[in-house]
Amino acid sequence: MSIHAHAHFEEGNLSYVASFRDKGELAIPPAKHLAIVTCMDARIDVVAQLGLKEGDAHIIRNAGGSAKDSIRSLVISQRLLGTREIAVFHHTDCGMLTFTTPQLREKLKASAEADDGEKIADAVDAIQFLEFSDLDKAVKEEVEYVKVHPLILKETEVTGWVYHVESGKVRRVV
Amino acid sequence: MSIHAHAHFEEGNLSYVASFRDKGELAIPPAKHLAIVTCMDARIDVVAQLGLKEGDAHIIRNAGGSAKDSIRSLVISQRLLGTREIAVFHHTDCGMLTFTTPQLREKLKASAEADDGEKIADAVDAIQFLEFSDLDKAVKEEVEYVKVHPLILKETEVTGWVYHVESGKVRRVV
């Protein structure tokens, strides 16, 4: 197993620094007033996949691309940094389609060492893992969740999308 | 203000699709068994900045690059998809250095329309915005938080970094 990936970060950073040019002048607020929510999945490079570039958009990523799990970040994005559009992406072949919260809670509790059992059970039961079973339906529900959330600005334009890992294509759902 | 950025997503996607080649064969589990936590900041393209590529690492992003706000995703990353290394990045000129939770709560409450006031106050008070005032100290605290968290595997290698938006350079903190 290849651990210690961090041992190569500084070396891997050299070519980016060498071609950095004027990116140091980019402002904090996203140029396109856009926040994107998408999955942490390793196959996703949302900026490249949408033809965007550094400076254009806030990119929020977590397991599944959950907007529910992004409200803190979205509020900061809108109120402090001026974004007014939110695009929520889920993707095909997502890990979130493969389990349920009760299953994962059981797995975590079963793996606990005896002296950690109670602490782990409490921590596990406090987490909703936010899995889903129907991709398009989940995207629609996320968009609706954002649209009616009391802390999201009413004038926000919210769209929902699926990224297809098999082809690299994006498809609008809502 | 340029809203409607989503109107250009499909057009922006074309060149990525055209050069997609064999990326459709990539597996779900990250090839480097690595999960990266970093900020949603628009100037960050962590995969390019570390010389990584699609398929290498889970990328978790939120306001500030908070590991505290990433536990759900990190658990799924480790237990279902086999990652065993976590790298936490914060960055210079971060929006999280510019406010405090009480200030942002006041701002949100002040902007509420009369009939939404109570709903907004409750939603606002439920959120810790996780700002910080000392960059390196915040990185160290995040790494420590992850290392001792009961749901993070004990054998996980955890490192902490700062990305410099002025130069494109990464610097290890811990």
CATH of the domain at B135: 3.40.1050.10
Q: Is the pLDDT of residue A129 over 90?
A: yes
Give the tens place of pLDDT for each residue, A86-115: 999 999 999 999 999 999 999 999 988 777
Identify which of B100, B25, B90 has the alpha carbon closest to the alpha carbon of residue B64: B90
Alpha-carbon Rg for chain A in angstroms: 19
d(CA B71, CA B83) in angstroms, rounded, equals 13
Partner-chain residue, chosen from A5, A58, A98, that has the shortest CB–CB distance to B32: A5
Structure-model confidence comparison of residues A2 and B37, the more confident one: B37
Three-state DSSP state, A47:
helix
Domain contains B1: no
- For residue B49, which residues of chain A lie inside 8 Å, CB to CB? 13, 16
Average pLDDT, chain A: 95
Domain contains A11: no
CA distance B135 to chain A (A): 17
Q: Do A172 and B70 touch (CB under 8 A)?
A: no
Which of A39, A44, A45 should we substitute to test contact with B (largest number of B Cβ atoms within 10 Å)? A45
CA distance B133 to chain A (A): 16
Partner-chain residue, chosen from B1, B49, B87, that has the shortest CB–CB distance to A13: B49
Report the Cα–Cα distance between both ends of chain B, in Å, rounded: 41
Q: How many domains does chain B have?
A: 1
Q: Is the pLDDT of residue A5 over 70?
A: yes
Domain contains B132: yes
Q: Do B70 and A62 touch (CB under 8 A)?
A: yes
d(CA A172, CA A147) in angstroms, rounded, equals 17
Domain contains B144: yes
- Looking at residue A116, its pLDDT comes to 80
Question: DSSP class of residue A24?
Answer: G
Which is it for strands B57-62 and B85-91: parallel, antiparallel or unpaired? Answer: unpaired
Q: Do B168 and A123 touch (CB under 8 A)?
A: no
Domain contains B124: yes
Size of interface A-B (CB pairs under 8 A): 279
Q: Do B12 and A99 touch (CB under 8 A)?
A: no
Over residues A130-140, mean pLDDT: 98
- Looking at residue A2, its pLDDT comes to 52
Domain ranges, residue A159? 27-172
- For residue B55, which residues of chain A lie inside 8 Å, CB to CB? 42-43
Domain contains A5: no
Q: Which amino acid is at B41?
A: D
Q: Is the pLDDT of residue A31 over 60?
A: yes
Q: Is the pLDDT of residue A12 over 90?
A: yes
Domain contains B76: yes
Give the chain A residue nearest B130 (alpha carbons). Answer: A72
- Looking at residue B2, its pLDDT comes to 52
Partner-chain residue, chosen from A41, A119, A169, that has the shortest CB–CB distance to B17: A169
Report the Cα–Cα distance between both ends of chain A, in Å, rounded: 41
Q: Is the pLDDT of residue A37 over 80?
A: yes
Partner-chain residue, chosen from A49, A59, A159, that has the shortest CB–CB distance to B13: A49
Domain contains A21: no
- Where b means 16+ CB within 10 Å and e means fewer, A37-57 reads bbbbbbbbbbbbbbbbebbbb
Give the distance from CA B162 to its chain's centroid.
13
Over residues B59-66, mean pLDDT: 98
Instruction: Report the interhelical angle of B117-125 vs B101-110 (nearest 10°).
Output: 170
